[in-house]
Amino acid sequence: MAVFTVLGAGMMGSAFTVPLADRGHEVRLVGTPLEAALVERLLRGEPHPGLGVPLSAGVVVEEVGRLDDAVAAADVVVFGVSSAGLDWAIGRLAPHAERPLMMITKGLLWDGQELRALPDVVAAALPDRAIHPVAVAGPCIAGELARRAPSSVMLACRDKALAQAMADLVRAEYYHPFVSDDVVGACACAALKNGYAMAYGFAAGLHEKIGGSPGSVAMHNLESAIFAQAALEMQRVVVALGGRAETAVGLAGIGDLDVTNNGNRTGRFGHLLGLGLSLDEAVERMEGATLECIEIVRVMREASTALRARGELGPLPLLDHMAAVVIDGATVAPPLGRFFV
């Protein structure tokens, strides 16, 4: 058994403690400086407000002041912070950089020249570090994992043997990790799927806009064409970044896109845009929900423009349309005729 210290008590960080505790590991869940109120509730034994269920009895919840001790005591550190909290988390890990690190925090960073996977950004920020972070990707709704519903994830690490070792530690009857060395592919898909799930939501909005009501005769044909085009464009981006196409059409790609299409906030947001609301109106209707889709579309507008200018990336007509809608205020009208080339 091992000691796991999870930084960040958000939904996914907290849900990840469930299989760890069931496997008999010692688990410490440490809130960030912004999560003091959440940690107080968890310490009182209340259900996690995002998950709707209490944490496992064995999980030790700690306030941020205990963080350094908890990291020092850990065999494995898990980053469950938002990408905004990543610099903070890196600073906390720095004195103990020899520990295996699993990252629930994923995504892409555009540095003006390259699109970089967050695990690589973290590794570069810990220059003495000899081991690579392990990204946790794939179709895993936190509320389902917290209820022990059957879930599968991809553990992606440049050191595949380390990914395998982590998989063996975290595997549970209902939690199935698969390993890969395609970190860039896994992280690109984790970010891109938010944008494409927004586009998938366009179809239901367009249907309602012309007076349609929910039901079997809707715009599912359009949805599924968008899905297939998203798979094509995710492959194209992943390969341009040095990843493998199979990642984009596997668990961490179309698997994660499919789960994200299941009526969550991203799809609702796309629905509002399809209905014809402006970006500002749609954002307002989302009442402060985090919209990763806007962020990735903005990043990809800039990055894909530069990569295509350098001849490193093929056509992305759906992404271009998403950017036109989200950045330029264009009306939603997916360019089906330009798909699949």
Interaction site with a second copy (CB under 8 A): 52, 138-141, 143-145, 147, 149-152, 176, 178, 207, 216-225, 227-228, 231-232, 235, 249-251, 253-256, 258-259, 262-264, 334, 336-337, 339-340
Exposure string over 100-122, b if 16+ CB within 10 A, otherwise e: bbbbbbbbbbbeeeebbbbbbbb
Please pick, among 106, 160, 193, 209, the residue that the annotation labels catalytic: 193
224 vs 305, which CB is nearer to a second copy? Answer: 224
91 vs 263, which CB is nearer to a second copy? Answer: 263
Q: How far is the CB of 149 from a second copy (least distance, A)?
A: 5
2 vs 225, which CB is nearer to a second copy? Answer: 225
Q: How far is the CB of 232 from a second copy (least distance, A)?
A: 7
93 vs 254, which CB is nearer to a second copy? Answer: 254
Q: Are 131 and 100 in contact (CB under 8 A)?
A: yes
193 assigned to active site: yes
Alpha helix stretches (DSSP H) within 211-328: 220-240, 245-248, 256-260, 265-275, 279-285, 292-309, 317-328
124 vs 149, which CB is nearer to a second copy? Answer: 149
Strand locations in the chain, DSSP E?
3-7, 26-30, 60-62, 76-79, 101-103, 108-110, 115-117, 134-137, 151-156, 175-180
Q: How far is the CB of 91 from a second copy (least distance, A)?
A: 33
For Cα atoms 229, 187, 160, give the angle at the middle one, nearest 5 degrees: 120
What are 37's two structure tokens?
A: 């109120």
Q: What are phi and psi of 172, to 5 degrees?
A: -135, 170
Q: How far is the CB of 304 from a second copy (least distance, A)?
A: 21
In 3-state terms, what secondary structure has residue 34?
helix
Q: How far is the CB of 135 from a second copy (least distance, A)?
A: 16
Tell me which residue has tokens 């790609």: 253
Helix (H) or strand (E) holding 139: none
Catalytic residues: 193
